[in-house]
């Protein structure tokens, strides 16, 4: 009888140790994730996040800006996961403007720019997002999020979270409203534009030290895309696009130099010479970006694992 009791107790101890070991492994993979602004290069983030999920990382909180905000919400809503194919995920969140006659498109842009202060009002894009997220509110997201936008009227950064009574589509329209390309959004007495203008990489989004922070940002292009026209032949639209590309490229260069706060690890992904703004990006280019982000993140996993191990080891000693 005593032998039976001994083996029962031994089995219970071993089970408890296994549970504790599994728990430690689980907590050792918990992270908060911050995604910088990306513009139309956001498929890189989809691939990077997929690599993290496939390797057992548990993302507990999210912060994102512009295209990074879109990916953060898509992950929190369950669109980005390890079950869906890359094509399915990108198709669901990949907005394509309706084809229009070149003449009509040109004059519509001019009219919108004069009346709404943007080539596009942004309403069509918001309607698309509302379909993607099924009309849900930010409070319906499964993972806590912090989405950054910029109020140029009051000259401050605006942060939206799950506690806001706003539709996901409306928040994403605000964080992705690249000035001039999209009209600014009127919100609470302010004029809201792309979050990248005020805070393109909010690596300090989570300051409580609850878990490691992995920040992912994109390497700025080495230079502007090669041009087939001379400066003298620039149209107004091309001139504005050059200004925006220069501004966002400068912002990316500055944020890459930024020293991350304690407890944060920054991963920089290379997107070649693809620019922040490319409204004509093809489906093939989107898949290529996804594969690039996936592969680059896979190559960083050993480095991230070592960083997380060190973080939890130091925390447990306190």
pLDDT digits (tens, 9 = 90+) for 27-62: 569 999 999 998 888 999 999 999 999 999 999 999
Residue whose entry in the numeric block shows the structure tokens 């390497």: 219
Provide the pLDDT for residue 39. 81
Token digits of residue 214: 């992995």
User: Is 196's pLDDT higher than 50?
Assistant: yes
The partner residues of 156 in beta bridges, in order of sequence, read 151
Provide the pLDDT for residue 18. 40
Contact yes or no for 89/78 (Cβ under 8 A): no
Provide the pLDDT for residue 107. 75
Give whole-number Cα distances, 245 to 149, 211, 223, in Å. 18, 35, 10
Token digits of residue 297: 């993140």
pLDDT digits (tens, 9 = 90+) for 216-254: 998 765 545 555 555 555 566 666 666 666 666 666 555
Provide the pLDDT for residue 14. 42
Backbone dihedral angles phi then psi of residue 141, each to the nearest 5 degrees? -65, 145
pLDDT digits (tens, 9 = 90+) for 136-179: 999 999 999 999 999 999 999 999 999 999 999 999 999 999 88
3-state secondary structure (DSSP) of residue 66? coil
177-202 average pLDDT score: 92
Provide the pLDDT for residue 285. 87
The C-alpha atoms of residue 209 and residue 241 are separated, in whole angstroms, by: 40
Provide the pLDDT for residue 111. 84
275-297 average pLDDT score: 85
User: Is 24's pLDDT higher than 80?
Assistant: no
Average pLDDT of the chain to the nearest whole number = 82
User: Is 11's pLDDT higher than 50?
Assistant: no
Provide the pLDDT for residue 180. 86
The C-alpha atoms of residue 44 and residue 200 are separated, in whole angstroms, by: 16
Residue whose entry in the numeric block shows the structure tokens 């029962």: 8
Contacts of 205 (CB under 8 A, 6+ apart): 32, 34, 63, 146, 213
């Amino acid at each position: 009888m005593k032998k039976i009791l001994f083996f029962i107790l031994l089995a219970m101890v071993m089970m408890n140790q296994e549970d504790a070991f599994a728990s430690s492994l689980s907590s050792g993979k918990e992270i908060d994730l911050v995604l910088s602004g990306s513009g139309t290069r956001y498929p890189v983030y989809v691939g990077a996040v997929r690599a993290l999920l496939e390797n057992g990382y548990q993302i507990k909180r999210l912060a994102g800006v512009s295209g990074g905000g879109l990916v953060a919400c898509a992950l929190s809503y369950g669109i980005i996961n390890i079950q869906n194919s890359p094509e399915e995920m990108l198709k669901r969140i990949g907005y394509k403007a309706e084809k229009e006659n070149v003449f009509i498109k040109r004059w519509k842009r001019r009219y919108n720019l004069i009346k709404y202060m943007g080539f596009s009002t942004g309403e069509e894009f918001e309607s698309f997002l509302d379909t993607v997220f099924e009309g849900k509110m930010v409070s319906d997201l499964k993972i806590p999020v912090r989405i950054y936008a910029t109020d140029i009227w009051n000259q401050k950064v605006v942060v939206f979270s799950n506690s806001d009574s706003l539709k996901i589509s409306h928040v994403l329209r605000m964080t992705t409203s690249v000035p001039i390309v999209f009209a600014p959004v009127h919100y609470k007495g302010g004029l809201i534009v792309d979050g990248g203008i005020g805070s393109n990489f909010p690596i300090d989004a989570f300051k409580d030290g609850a878990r490691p922070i992995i920040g992912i940002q994109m390497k700025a292009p080495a230079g502007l895309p090669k041009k087939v026209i001379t400066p003298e032949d620039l149209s107004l639209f091309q001139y504005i696009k050059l200004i925006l590309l220069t501004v966002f490229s400068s912002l990316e260069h500055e944020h890459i130099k930024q020293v991350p706060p304690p407890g944060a690890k920054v991963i920089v992904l290379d997107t070649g010479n693809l620019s922040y703004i490319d409204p004509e990006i093809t489906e093939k280019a989107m898949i290529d970006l996804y594969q690039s982000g996936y592969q680059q993140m896979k190559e960083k996993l050993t480095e991230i694992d070592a960083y997380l191990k060190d973080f939890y080891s130091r925390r447990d000693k306190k």
